[in-house]
Amino acid sequence: MHLNNSESSIYVAGHTGLLGRAVVKKLHNDGYQNLILQPSSALDLRCQRSVDDFFQDNQPEFVILAAARVGGILANDQFPTDFLVDNLSIQLNVLNAAHKSGVKRLIFLGSTCIYPREAPQPIKETALLSGPLEITNQWYAVAKIAGVLQCQALRRQHNRDFIALMSTNLYGPGDNFDLESSHVLPALMRRLHEAYESGSKEVTVWGSGKPRREFLYSEDIADACVFVLKTPEEDLLHVAPDSMFNVGYGEDLSIRDLCDILQEVMQTDCKLNFDLSKPDGTPRKLVDNSRLAQLGWNAPTPLRKGILHTYQWYKANVAKPS
Ligand code: GDP
């Protein structure tokens, strides 16, 4: 059942993460005040009993499941158990508890890395499980595939209105800027900033710079989440019988081109050194957005604008004063 009452209670799982904080901001801006938020220090989503008790006590009507163990290409490679097991546990527990407590609608956030490495571009939702995965993020991908299938299974067997959104590479204010564990955009933003400020004016870029990625601003995916929450079930299922939606910006670019745009927006002019000892990962993962577009949703934020807002946030919150 869709969200049509501003008094409804909405649990945002993972509200301190990049996506969760954008979802909370969007819901607040839209007048939803009855939000249920619980820090991970108070609720370990990997523990089924705690999650069951939490749902019993709070009885959320709607859930946005944005909590996940996430990280860039190297973090996936270094912590495969965490990426596989933590994500499986979080999803299993939240989806089970939401089912048992009769949540009206749940949005499960996945990622486009669930699709086969060689999927035809732009990737349609129907490409799921049609070929082998990219090896560098297979642990995370398998967990997210299990989440999508759990949503579909709960719908099929128990008529639960659980929807899966697959997002492309996210970026935005509040991102992880750790150089080892982050994704490419915040990592390069930080490297370029630090190289420019220090006067060295040289940065290392992992891999060949040739892989192409599609970047989506965090506030846009939050907008998509709320759009989907508010859309009647029959409209969603009409365009997505498998209750899955890709969410992307609609254009991709190479990592090298991303560096150029970052430099233009950040007004830096660093020399790029490509470190070929680091993995490239999937060559390309542009998604087909047509399902959401058919319902009337498109990502509103151009890449340069999103990068500028993110850089302003980075300078105010992360960058050390020089
Ligand atoms: P992916 O989409 O799962 O591969 O996630 P990432 O955002 O971690 O990486 C995207 C692409 O950017 C890969 O080809 C990386 O090799 C490349 N890349 C270049 N420099 C960096 C960096 O400093 N950090 C990360 N995470 N990726 C980088």
- CA 211 – CA 255 distance, rounded (Å): 6
Atom of ligand 1 nearest to the CA of 71: 8
End-to-end CA distance of the chain: 52
Residues 197-243 pLDDT 10s = 999 999 999 999 999 999 999 999 999 999 999 999 999 999 999 99
59 SS3 class: coil
Active site residue 140: yes
Catalytic option among 140, 171, 196, 314: 140
Calculate mean pLDDT across residues 73-78: 92
Q: Is the CB of 213 under 6 A from ligand 1?
A: yes
Mean pLDDT taken over the chain:
97
201, two tokens: 């004016």
User: Atom 19 of ligand 1 has which residue's CA nearest to it?
Assistant: 206
Calculate mean pLDDT across residues 160-175: 98
pTM: predicted TM-score of the whole model, two decimal places = 0.96
Place of tokens 């980075």: 314
Residues 127-157 pLDDT 10s = 999 999 999 999 999 999 999 999 999 999 9
- CA 29 – CA 14 distance, rounded (Å): 18
Cα(310) to centroid(ligand 1), Å: 18
Q: Is the CB of 184 under 6 A from ligand 1?
A: yes
Calculate mean pLDDT across residues 113-122: 97
- Percent of the chain exceeding pLDDT 70 equals 99
Confidence bin at 320 (pLDDT 50/70/90): low
Q: Which amino acid is at 166?
A: M
Cis upstream peptide for 283 (omega within 30°): no
DSSP 193-204: HHHHHHT--EEE
Q: Tell me the HSE value of 214 on the side-chain side, using a 13 A CA sphere.
A: 24
160, two tokens: 């639960």
> Where does 66-178 have alpha helices with state H?
73-78, 80-81, 87-100, 138-158
| Residues β-bridged to residue 212 | 254, 284
